[in-house]
Amino acid sequence: MTGKLFGTDGVRGRANTWPMTAEMALKLGAAAGRFFRRDGSAGHRVVIGKDTRLSGYMLENALTAGLTCTGMNVLLLGPVPTPAVGYLTRSMRADLGVMISASHNPAEDNGIKFFGPDGFKLSDDAEAEIAALVEAAMAPVDPREIGRAKRIEDGRGRYVEYAKTTFPRRGRLDGLKVVIDCANGAAYKAAPEVLWELGAEVIAVGVAPNGHNINDRCGSTHTQTAAETVVAHGADVGICLDGDADRVILLDEHGREADGDQIMALFAARWADEGRLKGGTLVATVMSNLGLERFLTARGLRLERTAVGDRHVVEAMRRGGWNLGGEQSGHIVMTDYATTGDGLIAGLQFLAEMQRSGRRASELAHSFTTVPQMLRNVRYAAGANPLAAATVQAAIAGAEARLVGHGRLLIRRSGTEPLIRVMAECEDASLLADVVGGIVAEVEQAAR
């Protein structure tokens, strides 16, 4: 093995390049099968979902071979959102759930995420054990014990029906015109179906996947197309999902964005008023805007910050017994409804509040004034470590000194791509641009 296998969200990389090769998927499947058949018993099952990337076929087949050769029975769901895999792993009494997706990444990338029988992503310890088994020799079972593979035709339908149950009982979306952008990804059928069945007038974009166009100028990372569609059609709201539909960015009737921080602010305030916000606490990451923290504090609520990654958010929520959390990027985790971020269900909760309150999206989607925040990404070559350069360290130290009493600085490596993320917040926009630009310039120089 040439590097660390599991990142912050499973295994991810460029398709047909380590670790996203058919060979590695075969080994991962065999290792996961051994891990979940430690007791030696038969009848274990695993559900596998995927998004719409062309490489998903290759990885799905390789995983299936690895799992069945160790005696696991495989249930193939086809294209479904990541949260559907978490839900169906539990509801179908499976031992393991697997999602083949690189989320918001380009179509050339792919990834493999594992879910335990409780529907939550596997712990770091469990992933480490599976990684160790990948390094060990494969242990195929006796020919009579080879697992079976079966395609489940109604997996999407089961998730659609469940998603509708999270909307208020007997509630409907009649009279609402909703633009839904599915990023040509995993929710391209499920999301429009749910909205239409609840009574909305649905205008769907990003629903023509061809294996290569997932997240391509659409979805939560590129909302311009959906925003233009909202305005052109006079829609009431836009819902933009990412490639595996575990993220959401909302658009008001003017096409203006509301990110995860604004969505969480609305939900936290509303749930607190209803006595539903457990512990009076919202869990978010170090990336969430200072304006969100000020908004919560003014209402007597608490913000618990974690490292970046929805898995860290969920782990903190479970430890603290809290039921609402997420990320600025659009992961909204509501453990009353789902075990992971669910963009569609978060969108439904926003629509429910529109219907309950009779207020427009623009009145609900912008709860607080953001502190100016700048995020720049610098790509680096595999194996490089630009943050270790003395010039970069000096630039970071200088920026921190300049921001004392004015804002904050966060420098980190992406857990899913070879990127250095440079983020700062500051009320002084010119100071903000200066410190971020200075650090980025040094990182770019060190990354050459």
User: pLDDT tens-digit profile of 193-238?
Assistant: 999 999 999 999 999 999 999 999 999 999 999 999 999 999 999 9
Same domain, 277 and 400: no
Q: Is residue 428 part of a domain?
A: yes
**Portion of the chain with pLDDT greater than 70, in percent:** 99
The pLDDT of residue 40: 67
Which carries the bigger pLDDT value, residue 168 or residue 9?
A: 168
Q: Is residue 209 part of a domain?
A: no
Q: What is the CATH number of the domain that holds 409?
A: 3.30.310.50
pLDDT, one tens digit per residue, over 62-85 is: 999 999 999 999 999 999 999 999
∠ at Cα 411 (410, 413), nearest 5°? Answer: 135
Same domain, 287 and 398: no
Q: Where is the domain boundary, 154, 187, 204?
A: 154
Q: Which of 103, 220, 288, 329 is catalytic?
A: 103
Same domain, 17 and 85: yes
Query: Among 281, 297, 382, which residue's Cα sits nearest to residue 335?
Result: 281
Same domain, 289 and 403: no
Same domain, 276 and 326: yes
* Cβ-based neighbours of 80, under 8 Å, separated by 6 or more: 49, 50, 88, 155, 156, 159, 186, 190
| pLDDT mean over 299-308 | 96
Radius of gyration in angstroms for the set of CA atoms belonging to the chain, rounded to a whole number: 22
The pLDDT of residue 2: 47
| pLDDT mean over 289-309 | 95
Same domain, 24 and 80: yes
> Is 70 exceeded by the pLDDT of residue 362?
yes
The pLDDT of residue 415: 74
Domain total for the chain? 3
- How far apart (Å, rounded) are the C-alpha atoms in residues 217 and 184? 10
Q: φ and ψ at 346, to 5 degrees?
A: -65, -40
Q: Is residue 227 part of a domain?
A: no
pLDDT, one tens digit per residue, over 261-286 is: 999 999 999 999 999 999 999 999 99
Cis check for the bond before 106: say yes or no (omega within 30 of 0).
Answer: no
Coil, helix or strand for 378?
strand
| pLDDT mean over 125-142 | 93
329 is catalytic: no
Same domain, 49 and 141: yes
Residue 282 · residue 301 · CB < 8 Å: yes
Same domain, 149 and 278: no
| pLDDT mean over 39-54 | 89
Boundaries of domain holding 282: 258-341
Q: What is the CATH number of the domain that holds 79?
A: 3.40.120.10
Q: Is residue 400 part of a domain?
A: yes
Q: Is residue 421 part of a domain?
A: yes
Q: Is residue 54 part of a domain?
A: yes
Residue 424 · residue 318 · CB < 8 Å: no
| pLDDT mean over 431-436 | 95
Q: Is residue 113 part of a domain?
A: yes
> Is 90 exceeded by the pLDDT of residue 418?
no
Q: Is residue 19 part of a domain?
A: yes
Same domain, 132 and 40: yes
Residue 146 · residue 71 · CB < 8 Å: yes
Q: Where is the domain boundary, 341, 358, 385?
A: 341
